[in-house]
Amino acid sequence: MSQLFAESRVPRAARTARGVDIALVVYRPIAKLDVDRLVLHAAELLTCRGPQSGIHGAALRAVETITDGALAIQGERIVAVGTSSDIIAAYAAPDIVDAAGKLVTPGLVDPHSHLLYGGTRHEEYESKVTQRAPETPMEGGIRYTARKTREASDGALIGQALGDLDVMLAHGTTTLEAKTGYGLEQDEELRLLRLTAGLKHPLQVVPTYLALHVLPHEYARRRQAYLEQAMAALPEACKLAPYCDVSCDPGSFTFDECLQVGEAARALGMKIRVHADQHGDARGALLAARLQASSADHLDYASDEGLRAMAHAGSVATLLPGVTLHLCEMTPRFEGAVLGPAEKPFMPLVARRAIEAGTVVALSTDYNPGSCPTPSMQMVMQLAARLYRLGYAETWNMCTLNAARALDLGRDRGSLEPGKRADIVIWSVATHGMVINRFGVNLADTVMASGKVVARSGRLV
Ligand SMILES: [Zn+2]
């Protein structure tokens, strides 16, 4: 590994008019460099190395592994990656983490969540699963969560969010995108954004202002007035978040409405994310391409034309298998005593179509109380393989480097490479396939965020 060795001084006499006589250039270890921490003897070290722009096409099916792998860490950065013998020869550290028998990977990146919300939605969920009407009518849906969120104090929302971040970190997620969306009224959306932007936690949170989620009923006849309010909040929102999100979906907002707000956000320097085509083709993928969105998410009904346009524009396709599972979209419905068709039996094709269109594909939880209450990216990986029929390498690439790319962070994290943030997970299993093959338990053993150990044996330290 050339980065672990320095070129020995070549004697001046050996230099010729032709330059250095290559035969005389020898490499030997220089004095060991002192660093803060070494991780040694990983049974398998999964680098997830790839271009900063993300991995697409056939390249998704490969992922680099190093047997008896090791890392050197200085401060919050990785300084070297290689075999244990290479690292031991070149680096010394006061803190040695022994990863013998274990898998070592980059920290997982979750690029779509709605972290702050009030209330739960478990009561309405039972009637969805059973297709039985509740005995007593009950409120539900996004507007119910918005009411419960409005009723929740700042302290209650922050306390719940910090607890959720603890769980995510202990399960191996080291970077999370967190969007608002349960305010609906813009002053409330801005409250949620201020709280999100102010969170202090070792799991790094990237805030997004969800300007258009669903239309409050009272604006049914005043849609443009609602758009004007959303745009009026942007000068404040852009101080708190790098991203503005719009929902381009048959049940939410149209292409033109999202374009209006998206362009206003871009004019203020915000980058764009799109909830696209979840319940039908609203041309959300095309909108994402038009706005050069960092990512468009859901994409259940996105057209091939839209996916190709996203690939061309560099917009990541972020898929959310937890939503598909939780909403029983691939499960046949009861039709009396027999089974009817599933709502979205085509979902496995969504991932294949996005890959074949050439998009960089990422995976995410969409953590929220209604459509996906799991905070675990491990669960998302396990579901993605099963529901989309993805291979192990595809799944890992989509939750590490490609997920970082969906947050425009491909240069800084998402893989184990010198110079990147030392966000690292040591797993209780020996190979990356085992993380996907097993499911239902936390397999993250030790988690490091920015070079510091933040969880051991699945618990925060
Ligand atoms: Zn969402």
Instruction: Quick: pLDDT tens for 62-71.
Output: 999 999 999 9
pLDDT of 373 strictly over 70: yes
Tens-digit pLDDT profile for residues 143-197: 888 898 999 999 999 999 999 999 999 999 999 999 999 998 999 999 999 999 9
Asked whether 446 and 453 are in contact (CB, 8 A), the reply is yes
Residue 134 has what pLDDT?
81
Residue 366 CA to residue 350 CA, distance in Å, equals 17
Contacts of 375 (CB under 8 A, 6+ apart): 113, 164, 167, 168, 171, 173, 365, 367
Separation of CA 114 and ligand 1 centre (Å): 6
Question: Is the pLDDT confidence value at 11 over 50?
Answer: no
Position 5 confidence tier, pLDDT thresholds 50, 70, 90: very low
Looking at the predicted structure, is the pLDDT value of residue 323 above 80? yes
Distance 340 CA to ligand 1 centre (A): 28
* 84-92 mean pLDDT: 97
Q: Would you place residue 119 in the very low, low, confident or very high pLDDT band (cuts 50, 70, 90)?
A: confident
Instruction: State how far the alpha carbon of 118 is from the alpha carbons of 138, 142, 275, 419, in Å.
Output: 16, 11, 21, 39
Percentage of the residues of the chain whose pLDDT score is greater than 90: 85
Asked if residue 264 has pLDDT above 60, the reply is yes
Give the Å distance between the CA of 170 and the centre of ligand 1.
Answer: 22
Tell me the CA–centroid distance for residue 177 and ligand 1, in Å: 11
The alpha carbon of 386 and the centre of ligand 1 are apart by a number of angstroms equal to 22
- C-alpha to C-alpha distances, 86 to 43, 138, 249, 430, nearest whole angstrom: 15, 62, 52, 21
Q: How far is the CA of 371 from the centre of ligand 1 (A)?
A: 9
Determine the distance separating the centroid of ligand 1 and the alpha carbon of 428, expressed in angstroms: 31
* Prediction pTM value: 0.93
The residues, ordered by sequence, that sit 6+ positions from 394 with a Cβ below 8 Å of its Cβ are 60, 61, 355
pLDDT in the model for residue 9: 33
Q: CB within 8 A of 450, min separation 6: which ones?
A: 76, 202, 204, 421, 422, 423
CA of 115 to the centre of ligand 1 (A): 10
* Lowest-confidence pick of 12-21, 78-87, 364-373: 12-21
Q: 164: CA distance to ligand 1 center in Å?
A: 16
Angle at 262 between CA 297 and CA 370, to 5 degrees: 40
Strand partners, 206: 177
Q: Please spell the DSSP secondary structure of 297-312, one letter per residue.
A: EE-TT--HHHHHHHHH
CA of 433 to the centre of ligand 1 (A): 28
Ligand 1 centroid to 210 CA: how many Å? Answer: 9
pLDDT at 337 over 80: yes
Range from 3-12, 178-187, 276-285 that averages highest in pLDDT: 276-285
Q: How many CB atoms lie within 10 A of CB 357?
A: 23
pLDDT at 48 over 70: yes
- How does DSSP classify residue 106? E
Contact by Cβ (8 Å): 23, 80: no
> Ligand 1: distance of its center to the CA of 213 in Å?
8
pLDDT at 218 over 70: yes
What pLDDT does residue 30 have? Answer: 64
> Does the pLDDT at position 1 exceed 50?
no
Given a cut of 90, is residue 233 above it in pLDDT? yes
The region of weakest confidence among 6-15, 230-239, 315-324, 395-404 is 6-15
Q: Which residue has the higher pLDDT, 125 or 175?
A: 175
- Output the average pLDDT for the chain: 92
| Cα–Cα nearest to 448, from 430, 421, 429 | 421
β-pairing, 338-339 vs 334-335, is antiparallel
Cα–Cα distance, 405 to 318 (Å, whole number): 10
